[in-house]
Amino acid sequence: MLTRVAGGPAVVACGTCRHSAEARDDADGVRGGARLAAALRAVRASDPHYAGVDVQEMPCLFACKDHCTVHLRAPGKVSYVLGRFVPDEAAARAILDYAVHYAASEHGRVPFADWPQGVKGHFITRSPPEGYVAE
C-alpha cells in the first residue's frame, strides 16, 4: 500500500484529481491531476532553482471536492494541502515557487509577502509534523 520515495521537501500531486469542479477529464480524456503532475515535473526539470523540491505523484489525496490538489511536505515541518488549481504551467510554477520558500523555512511557515499570487486562495489544510502542534 505504501511506496518508498525520497525524503526531503516534496510536492505530492494527486494524479487522479478531477480536471475542474465541473469535469473529471479534460477534452483529451486526461484527468486534471495527471496534467498538473506532468506540469510540475516539466517546470521542475526546466529550472535548477527547483532542484531542492521533489515532485512525487500518488493516486487520490481524498480531497475530491477540491480538484487538482497537491500535498506540500518536508520532515519536521507543517505540511499543507492546496487545491482548486488549473492544471497548467502557471499553477505548477506558483506551487514550486512557494515550495522553494517552504523548503528554506525553519518550520514550514512562509511569510505571506513571499507567497506567489498563484497559490493565494488555494490552501485547504495544514497539518503539524509528528510530535508537534502548530502555534
Residue 105's CB is within 10 A of a number of other CB atoms, namely 16
User: What pLDDT score does 5 carry?
Assistant: 94
CA–CA separation, 48 and 7 (whole Å): 19
Q: Is the pTM of this model over 0.85?
A: yes
**90-129 pLDDT per residue, tens:** 999 999 999 999 999 999 999 999 999 999 999 999 999 9
1 has pLDDT over 90: no
Q: Tell me, what amino acid is at 84?
A: R
Judge whether 61 and 71 are in contact, CB under 8 Å. Answer: yes
Give the torsion sign (CA, 27, 30, 36, 39).
Answer: negative
pLDDT recorded at residue 40? 98
Given a cut of 90, is residue 134 above it in pLDDT?
no
If you average pLDDT over residues 1-24, what whole number do you get? 94
Q: pLDDT category, 135, cuts 50, 70, 90?
A: confident
CATH of segment(s) 10-127: 3.40.30
Q: Where are the domains of the chain?
A: 10-127
* pLDDT on residue 23: 92
The 10s digit of each residue's pLDDT in 54-86 is: 999 999 999 989 999 999 999 999 999 999 999
pLDDT of residue 78: 97
Backbone angles phi, psi at 86, to 5 degrees: -80, 130
